[in-house]
Structure 1
Amino acid sequence: MIGVKILALRTALLGAAAAVAASPSLPVKQSSGDTIEKQLGTKMAKSLGAMSTGADQELLLAGSTAQARNSRIPKVFGKTKRLAAYAPIAPGSASYGTALKCLTQAVYYEAANEPRTGKHAVAQVVLNRMRHPAYPNSVCGVVYQGVNARVCQFSFTCDGALLRAPLRRQWAESESVAREALAGKQMEAVGTATHYHADYVVPKWAYTLAKLEMIGTHIFYRFPGRAGEPRAFAATWARSERVPKINWARFSASGDEPEEFALAVEETWTPGLTVVPNKTDRHAPADVGGRIDTTKQWRLSIPDPVANKGSYDAAVEAQAASEALAEPTPVTEPAP
């Protein structure tokens, strides 16, 4: 799991992408490239499209080593700045129902097992993005950004997770959080955050943003400089909400919208080793859900500690030296 380049873990990251990456069927507030570039800086503005949640996301580290590295990234200096409450969507309207569904999906699929504060934090990131000129200016536009593209902003929209029925209790709690967020509830600790990632990975972009807070297993960040200041969040709601058409054929060979996935190939049975699919499983076949089928992937083996001591010591020394050289400099901002 640990290496200089590691493929992303499902739903582990939430990075940024350019506003032009949004689905054309979604309302998007078109801000000039000059405005966004001036706010973010030329380098970051050009790299937005590469900061994604897709399976090609490049990580620096993963696992327990990542948690230690994340703890060394300092928080931004001073008090976290927050946005004024913003609740432009009238409850009971058609747009409200659609926005509530999209926001509930984001909270559920990204943070179903997080504490309530963690759910609120994810909801606030979605609504913060809606108010920033670098992103679509509707709730569903933010949630479904890039849904039919090569990469998407919230991986649950493009990895087949939506084909799995949600658990009732967690969905109800996620919807409750979404309602409060749409009513204008703000978490001061999250402030103007527009990004987060799980603490067990270190994405390259973590060193380019300003770290705010860790809530549950997620670490939240905002844009550095004036792009992360409250005055930068000047976009207004699009006054309409739409869920885009999804290319379900990406998730099913038949092109249908199945209620659940079926295994595509016949499995090889090895007594005591093969992971048996269960009808209560709520994940796609490609998502091992924390389990490893040892007939196909890595199999546990315990090396001889005596015979391998020399190579182990050498590996530890080499890794320590590599980390000392490779660790980027975190974003720091001057005291106000």
Structure 2
Amino acid sequence: MDGWPGNGERWVRGIEGRYGGEERLELPWLEGKAQRGGGQQVQMDSSKWGFVGSQVELRCLFVNSNPPVKISQVTWQKFLNGTKQNVAIANPSLGVSVLPPFKDRVSFKQPAVRHRTPSLEDTTITFSNLRLSDEAAYICEYTTFPAGNRENMVNLTVLARPTTGMSLTAPTIVARPSNRKVTVATCLSANGKPPSMITWDTRLKGEASNQETRNANGTVTVRSNYLVVPSRSTHQQKLTCIVTYRNERITDSVILNVLYEPEVTVEGFDGNWFLNRQDVQLTCKADANPPVSVYQWKMLNGSMPNNVEIRNNTLIFKGPVTNELAGTYVCDATNSIGTRSGQVEVNIT
């Protein structure tokens, strides 16, 4: 009798989330591969996937019996959250119909299906310009006589390639005396499905702070901030962000530009300034970013000797060394971040 279970078949309550609890025909075959009854099979892939904007084929083949049954109609349906929605219908008498909102994106692959009197053994459909909302189960149902309905299902997963990028928190970072960790760079993987994983590669001794945001359309945005204590040692260090999306690795790098106060030393005294020695001088060396704009020299607890000429960061002592050159010389170096000092004690032997 048309529509009744064949040998080895039985009516069962559908699995929740697959057929929404409605009664369906359970078939003794590998689920998602083929379902058959009385010599007929509906062959499909168990799952397919594609990226947003891409094209995917959903295979559906009807293996007929011998002698064959008559195919009255083939219906493709989208099944989501317990609800079925017709996608495309092929009928030997009425031809082919693709329903909105699939009309411009779904077509039957085989030209024979698109004829007025179609051949319906292969009703594979082509899905173009995939959307996230296309993710669902798709049922291919054959209506036959006298065997009844035969169907199978494929699960379609739609993936979204993320937009990735890395940026510095600011073009320049200022080192402060507080030694507090601050965010220096951010790595972003936006609107991906499945979500990406973000890691960092650097010599810096910092830490990462990651955050995932699940968007309304099912995609995930992953943000990772890298925190470090800005200092002279972090200046010009390379920081690389690694975004891993499925089997892809996407890398991006930045070089940190850290502004810091001058680190000052005074060079030129070798411990052997003896009386009447000629051509001695002291030089103020400063490591600073930005460079030092002003150098200032002074004597600690005293005034500069008369025979000293100041040339920017250098003290030039004219004439022979005398006892009045002894003392502590201080150099103040200033840039836009601050002022730091260096000093040297000169002894005359």
* TM-score bracket for this pair, using the shorter chain length: under 0.3
- So what's the TM-score if we normalise by structure 1? 0.21
Q: TM-score, normalised by structure 2?
A: 0.20
Q: Which of the pair has more CA radius of gyration?
A: 2
